């Protein structure tokens, strides 16, 4: 902004402050230069006209000087021919004198028309003297004709010669006057020329200076706000909001600066709001984390608290059935087994709820390690075989040969397969349930195929959502929390895998999930 | 030969009763404690042959008690079974890290518990 304090600062500021659009200012600048050009052209034309006029005057003066010379010549010839009249005593010279007289008069008449007013008197005097001279010529001619030679000589000497001398003197002053005038014109022309040169040079210099200053001032009145805006926007880019962009302009740049200031303030306001919101969210997040931790702790404690009495219920039931307290009467055995079945069901509910709440809180971590696919399938088969036999279902397992030791959470995957196979057995009344595991491109696919009741098409999408069973009456008929599939899905996804189902109502379902042979977290 | 001693540390009376009933027909001598501090004191005084430790105990947690027992050279080598609350909760790993010889998830089958006891401590 050093420029604004320089002498040119004031006009720059002044141009900036003009309440006109940039377009108009530029147009005015160009118009100024154009006007200077037009003015310069006009001055040049005027100078040329002046010079031409003076040249013309000079020409005329020159012409008049020529005519004066002719008069002088004609006079000389007259005097010569007058003398000849005396010498030759004939009439020939008289006609020559008359010819010269005519030329004299013609030239004088032309001169009289062209001559300025002050020369008219002189010309009249010349004409009068010439008339006198012609009168004496006539007298001389008459005397010569009458052979009065002595008289003719006297007239020539006493009258003719003084008249010619007088004419000569008069013509001489005329020539001198015209020459003086010509000299004056010449000097005036030179002066006019010099003056017009000076005028044009001055105009040229003034135009260049004015155009340069005008261009400079106008362009800087545009550059200054742009520079100021550049600095201002650098601040905004660096996150320093809320400043004010001050420019003297009252044109588009002024409006732009106002908008930028407004924008910066708005950004400041939004930034402040965002900061407050972020702080609020941070506080909220901390409180949520605290609440989540409290919830997890509560669930862990609750789980243990629920398990302890359940342990007693199931423990006592088992040792009674094992007849540690003595023989069990036959009619009590069935209700005791019922207690055991319901206790176990209650346990599975507690486990599911705990698992799901841990998954929801994002606190469930996989305990990854090496596991054997064969072992998982065998555990599941062993756990469910008795149920299959009880329901009269065929239950087979098949593991593709050559599957290497895998990496992942073997126990959680066992839980997944147990869930799917358990469901399959639960929802199949007749036929069979088969477990099949295959490996392709380092992905393991666990498949459970049943010949059960199947799932309606519109329910397939929701089958993995929490607390979802196709029909709530199913819960009553088949039991279960409706959480098993949801938990299985989350566990498979934690392994980076995918779960799916293909089903045909009344024909059966195929549930499958795929997991990487070496799930995330394992060594490469 | 002196009868083998089993120390059962568990705050729930009914669960203690089950183990009491289980062991009543065996030759094991049963010692009981209802909280972590008491269990630690009894273990250091009596030096039992096997300890059954519940994971969640009043006053001193089962895991802390396990660590203290393992830190004491007189009790460091006594077989110790921690009864965890849930096989999948991560307690099992914590129990093994604390120095347990084995773990058993609650609710356990009394038969499985007997099998574990027999494994670590064959009956005379």
Residue A42 CB coordination number (10 Å)? 11
Question: Crossing angle, helix A410-426 and helix A373-391, to 10 degrees?
Answer: 20
pTM (2 d.p.): 0.48
- Cα A39 to Cα A52, A199, A211, A217, distances in angstroms: 20, 12, 14, 22
Residue of B95, B106, B114 best to disrupt the A interface, most CBs of A under 10 A: B106
B45 and chain A: CB distance < 8 Å anywhere? no
* Average pLDDT rounded to a whole number, residues A256-264: 92
Q: What are phi and psi of B6, to 5 degrees?
A: -115, 130
Summarised one tens digit per residue, pLDDT across range B39-70 is 999 999 989 999 999 988 888 888 899 999 89
- Beta-bridge partners for A263: none
The complex scores an ipTM of: 0.84
Summarised one tens digit per residue, pLDDT across range A480-509 is 556 788 888 888 988 889 998 888 887 888
- What pLDDT sits at residue B86? 63
Q: DSSP assignment of A236-283, as one string?
A: HHTT--S--------SHHHHHHHHHHHHHHHHHHHHHHHHHHHHHHHH
Closest chain A C-alpha to B73 CA, distance in angstroms: 31
Cβ distance of B90 and A365 shorter than 8 Å: yes
Closest chain A C-alpha to B44 CA, distance in angstroms: 26
Closest chain B C-alpha to A345 CA, distance in angstroms: 12
Higher-confidence residue of A466 and A522: namely A466
* Average pLDDT rounded to a whole number, residues A80-103: 77
A92: left (phi over 0), alpha (psi -120 to 50) or beta: alpha
- What pLDDT sits at residue A58? 85
Q: Starting at the edge strand that comes first in sequence, how are the strands of the sheet with B50-54 ordered?
A: B29-33, B5-9, B50-54, B80-84, B102-105
Cβ distance of A311 and B88 shorter than 8 Å: no
- What pLDDT sits at residue A386? 84
Q: A523: pLDDT confidence band, cut at 50, 70 and 90?
A: very low
Cβ distance of A354 and B111 shorter than 8 Å: no
- Cα A264 to Cα A258, A260, A269, A341, distances in angstroms: 10, 6, 9, 71
- What pLDDT sits at residue A317? 92
Q: DSSP assignment of A125-145, as one string?
A: HHHHHHHHHHHHHHHHHHHHH
Q: DSSP assignment of B29-46, as one string?
A: EEEEESSHHHHHHHHHHH
- Cα A342 to Cα A270, A335, A337, A512, distances in angstroms: 59, 10, 9, 29
Distance between start and end Cα atoms, chain A: 63
Residue A62 CB coordination number (10 Å)? 14
Residue B56 CB coordination number (10 Å)? 23
Cβ distance of A310 and B90 shorter than 8 Å: no
Count each helix (H run) and each strand (E run) in chain B, helices first. 5, 5
pLDDT at residue B3 tops 70: yes
Distance CA A258, CA A431 (A): 81
Residue with tokens 């304090």: A5
Show residues of chain A in contact with B88, CB under 8 Å: 351, 355, 411-412, 415
B96 and chain A: CB distance < 8 Å anywhere? no
Question: Which among A315, A367, A412 has the least Cβ separation from residue B18?
Answer: A315
Distance CA B85, CA A295 (A): 17
Lowest mean pLDDT among A262-276, A297-311, B35-49: A297-311
Question: Which among A304, A311, A318 has the least Cβ separation from residue B111?
Answer: A318
- What pLDDT sits at residue A306? 83
Q: Where are the alpha helices (DSSP H) in A322-409?
A: 330-360, 373-391
B108 and chain A: CB distance < 8 Å anywhere? yes
- Cα A164 to Cα A80, A132, A169, A514, distances in angstroms: 11, 9, 8, 147
* Average pLDDT rounded to a whole number, residues B20-43: 90
Cβ distance of B109 and A314 shorter than 8 Å: yes
Nearest residue in chain A measured CA to CA from B92: A367
Distance CA B68, CA A49 (A): 125
Summarised one tens digit per residue, pLDDT across range A11-36 is 888 888 888 888 888 898 888 888 88
Cβ distance of A301 and B56 shorter than 8 Å: yes
Residue with tokens 């899905």: A489
Cβ distance of A304 and B14 shorter than 8 Å: no
pLDDT at residue A348 tops 90: no
């Amino acid at each position: 902004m050093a420029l604004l304090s320089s002498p040119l600062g004031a006009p720059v500021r002044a141009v900036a402050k003009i309440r006109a659009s940039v377009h108009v200012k530029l147009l005015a600048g160009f118009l100024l230069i154009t006007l200077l050009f037009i003015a310069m052209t006009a001055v040049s034309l005027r100078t040329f006209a002046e010079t031409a006029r003076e040249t013309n005057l000079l020409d005329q003066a020159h012409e008049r000087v020529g005519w004066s010379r002719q008069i002088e010549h004609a006079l000389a010839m007259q005097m010569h021919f007058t003398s000849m009249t005396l010498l030759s005593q004939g009439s020939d010279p008289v006609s020559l004198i008359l010819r010269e007289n005519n030329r004299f008069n013609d030239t004088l008449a032309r001169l009289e028309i062209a001559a300025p007013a002050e020369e008219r008197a002189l010309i009249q005097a010349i004409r009068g003297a010439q008339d006198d001279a012609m009168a004496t010529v006539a007298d001389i001619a008459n005397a010569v004709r009458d052979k009065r030679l002595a008289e003719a000589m006297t007239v020539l000497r006493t009258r003719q010669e003084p008249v010619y001398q007088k004419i000569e003197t008069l013509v001489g002053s005329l020539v001198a006057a015209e020459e003086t005038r010509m000299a004056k014109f010449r000097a005036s022309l030179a002066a006019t020329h010099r003056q017009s040169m000076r005028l044009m040079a001055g105009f040229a210099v003034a135009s260049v200076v004015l155009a340069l200053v005008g261009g400079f001032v106008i362009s800087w009145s545009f550059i200054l706000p742009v520079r100021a805006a550049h600095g201002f926007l650098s601040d905004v880019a660096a996150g320093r909001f809320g400043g004010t962009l001050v420019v003297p302009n009252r044109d588009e740049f002024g409006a732009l600066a106002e908008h930028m200031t407004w924008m910066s303030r708005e950004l400041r306001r939004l930034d402040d709001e965002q900061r407050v919101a972020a702080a609020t969210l941070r506080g909220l997040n901390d409180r949520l984390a605290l609440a989540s931790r409290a919830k997890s702790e509560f669930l862990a404690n609750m789980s243990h608290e629920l398990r302890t009495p359940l342990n007693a219920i199931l423990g006592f039931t088992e040792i009674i059935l094992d007849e540690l307290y003595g023989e069990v009467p036959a009619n009590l055995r069935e209700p005791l087994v019922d207690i055991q079945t319901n206790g176990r069901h209650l346990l599975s509910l507690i486990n599911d709820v705990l698992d799901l709440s841990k998954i929801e809180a994002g606190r469930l971590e996989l305990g990854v390690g090496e596991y054997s696919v064969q072992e998982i399938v065998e555990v599941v088969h062993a756990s469910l075989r008795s149920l299959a036999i009880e329901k009269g279902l065929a239950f087979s397992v098949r593991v593709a040969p050559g599957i290497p030791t895998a990496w992942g959470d073997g126990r959680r995957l066992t839980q997944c397969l147990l869930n799917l196979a358990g469901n399959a057995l639960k929802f199949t009344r007749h036929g069979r349930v088969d477990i099949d595991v295959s490996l392709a491109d380092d992905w393991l696919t666990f498949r459970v195929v049943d010949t059960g009741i199947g799932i309606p098409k519109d329910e397939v999408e929701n089958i993995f959502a929490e607390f979802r069973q196709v029909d709530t009456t199913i819960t009553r008929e088949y039991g279960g929390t409706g959480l098993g599939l949801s938990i299985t899905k989350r566990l498979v996804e934690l392994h980076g895998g995918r779960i799916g189902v293909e089903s045909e109502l009344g024909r059966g379902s195929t549930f499958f999930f795929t997991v990487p042979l070496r799930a995330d977290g394992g060594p490469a | 030969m002196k009868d083998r001693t089993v120390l059962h540390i568990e705050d729930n009376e009914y669960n203690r009763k089950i183990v009491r009933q289980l062991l009543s027909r065996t030759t094991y001598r049963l010692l009981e404690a209802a909280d972590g501090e008491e269990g630690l004191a009894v273990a250091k005084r009596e030096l039992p042959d096997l300890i059954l430790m519940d994971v969640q105990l009043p006053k001193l947690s089962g895991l802390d008690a396990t660590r203290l027992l393992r830190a004491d050279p007189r009790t460091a080598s006594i077989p110790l079974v921690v009864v965890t609350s849930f096989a999948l909760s991560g307690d099992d790993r914590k129990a093994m890290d604390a120095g347990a010889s084995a773990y058993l998830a609650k609710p356990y089958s009394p038969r499985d518990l007997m099998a574990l006891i027999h494994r670590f401590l064959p009956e005379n």
